A and B are shown apart, each in its own frame.
Chain A
């Protein structure tokens, strides 16, 4: 009958952490969410979508393109030029407008019956292209045919000028030289705007079931009351629980980074002039950027779950919370705003900007990294303090 010596100082935090990790490693649903669906669904979905998009673009650019031509017999030279450009002139259609609208053809070319006569007399003639610009799928085809027709026209015009003893330059006093400053990497950015969200969601899903289980779940099972009867301050118990949540979401993040690194090899980005680096350098930087976010999300999830009376209720609240991190991603993809320095200090937004910059190949400067880490860490600290405060409530432990 000895009273125990009060040397719980270091043990309590670790005890809670280890117990929660052990207990949750035994839960299949948590495991599946943290190590399978959460971190792997993103990369898988991502690579599938990207491959689909890329392959379609590539197909369009290389494949022969069937185009119904009305009145092909009036302009054999033009048709021959189109053929040389990979267009396969198809049978004439009765109603070109209908054919395009019903997506029977991406684009229909109509040559007027008066073409031959006008051409011989040196008069300007018109050819018509029917297409539907709301069919995004057809845009590549339309552009290709347009360019072929226009370059044929330029070439013929130049020959006419030369025949009349004039320099072809006379007709084109001004020439636009396009100097595209996009690097292969920056071109990739457009397609990968949603990538940061995948990382956030992974962290979120990795810790979600723990956060619910460790507050609302424990309350529902009525184990919080005996737990709080132990001689350990509540904030210490909470810290152990937060650490357990962080451990799981970090593990999820690592799995997803690994998956992206592997999957990145299978994205044929090079074929369309993009460069994509999802390797070690990228992974380390993302990990660093995300670290404070891991704690912030863990605290937010615990806080939300602590408000709920039951497991189910907590699940509902947390699914709503999951929509919050999508905001910066949507914001950035719909309104491309120029990044100001202060934006890096905003949690989620900062990470978003940082990851986009990594994808562009610009790298993240030490200042931006510092702002991002400091801003998110401050937010995380606030969230932890608020959760600690919530944990002090008498009502928290009472289940009934």
Chain B
């Protein structure tokens, strides 16, 4: 369960996030939808305590990020915008590194790692150094790395960015599986179809503000548009930064 209340963050004169609030529930997939530069990544970065908000509150499973940032990070699995693997380490070693930083005992780490390798279908690449990995292989490794400590809450920043159709489908299947396991899944995207296909709840962000927070059906009903993409354009008032 992730709760965000009235977040503000400015870089100099630019208000990147200007009063964002929403909650993402367990057993649901929540999509953070918005055009490029709307403040999605900055919002997520405040969630996983990389940045401190100027104002507002972040609660993860009831823990205040400002009070106990380490406790929050322990309950989060994060796939940041920057995937950044260690290219001289193999995929398995990359996963192990983060597992150990989470303080996992070795036996538990090994079983978690192998389960993820299986679930993400990365047997063939697991013992290769990540240098020269394809975009899809990189994302798989980064996700395995992010989930090795079995977090209840999962944050994915534009997870399907740069993936081909097959990889995208596999990733969506995996996200549904996470949801069925009862986790709270929060992901950002600027792609309509993806959000429509996956989300139980859509939070639309534009210009650093939440402009809608509904289920896909409610969103369509609210705007009177049967097509979700048209609904989206109507909500943010412009089609700038939209990609299909």
Contact = CB atoms under 8 A, between A and B. Distances in A.
Given A8-B103, A229-B50, A2 B150 contact: yes
A350 B76 CA distance: 49
Interface string B48-91: 11111000000000000000001101111011111111111100
B102 A230 contact: yes
B4 interface: no
Contact of B101 (A23, A218, A230, A400): A230
B185 interface: no
Given A226-B84, A399-B82, A4 B50 contact: no
Contacts of B146: 226, 229
B152 interface: yes
B154 to A, nearest CB: 12
Contacts of B89: 19, 22-23
Contacts of B152: 1, 3
A15 B149 contact: no
A4 B149 contact: yes
Contacts of B52: 394
A9 B100 CA distance: 11
Contacts of A400: 82
B104 A228 contact: no
B214 interface: no
Nearest to B146: A226
A1 B101 contact: no
A136 interface: no
Given A225-B80, A226-B142, A231-B70, A27 B48 contact: no
Contacts of A26: 88
Interface in A4-26: 4-8, 11-12, 15-16, 19, 22-24, 26
Contacts of A221: 84-87
A224 interface: yes
Contacts of A397: 50
B181 interface: yes
Nearest to B79: A226
Contacts of A229: 48-50, 73, 76, 78, 80, 146
A15 B101 CA distance: 7
A230 B98 contact: yes
Given A26-B88, A229-B76, A394-B52, A12 B101 contact: yes
* Chain B residues touching A, majority SS: loop
A223 interface: yes
Interface residues of B, number: 42
B78 A226 contact: yes
B37 interface: no
A251 B104 CA distance: 31
A173 B119 CA distance: 104
Nearest to B77: A229
B101 A225 contact: no
A389 interface: no
A10 to B, nearest CB: 9
B145 interface: yes
B182 interface: yes
A371 B93 CA distance: 44
Given A15-B97, A226-B78, A394-B51, A231 B73 contact: yes
Given A23-B88, A394-B52, A222 B83 contact: yes
A226 B78 CA distance: 7
Interface in B99-136: 100-104
A226 B149 CA distance: 14
Nearest to B51: A394
A15 B75 CA distance: 20
20 contacts: A1-B150, A1-B182, A4-B103, A6-B71, A8-B101, A8-B103, A12-B103, A19-B86, A19-B93, A23-B86, A23-B89, A26-B88, A27-B88, A224-B82, A225-B81, A229-B76, A230-B101, A231-B70, A232-B101, A398-B45
Give the 3 A-B residue pairs with the shortest CB-CB distance, closest first: A223-B84, A222-B82, A8-B103
Interface of B: 45, 48-52, 70-71, 73-76, 78-89, 93, 97-98, 100-104, 142, 145-146, 149-152, 181-183
Given A1-B183, A226-B142, A226-B145, 12 more contacts: A3-B151, A5-B103, A11-B103, A15-B97, A19-B86, A22-B89, A23-B89, A225-B82, A226-B80, A226-B98, A228-B50, A231-B103
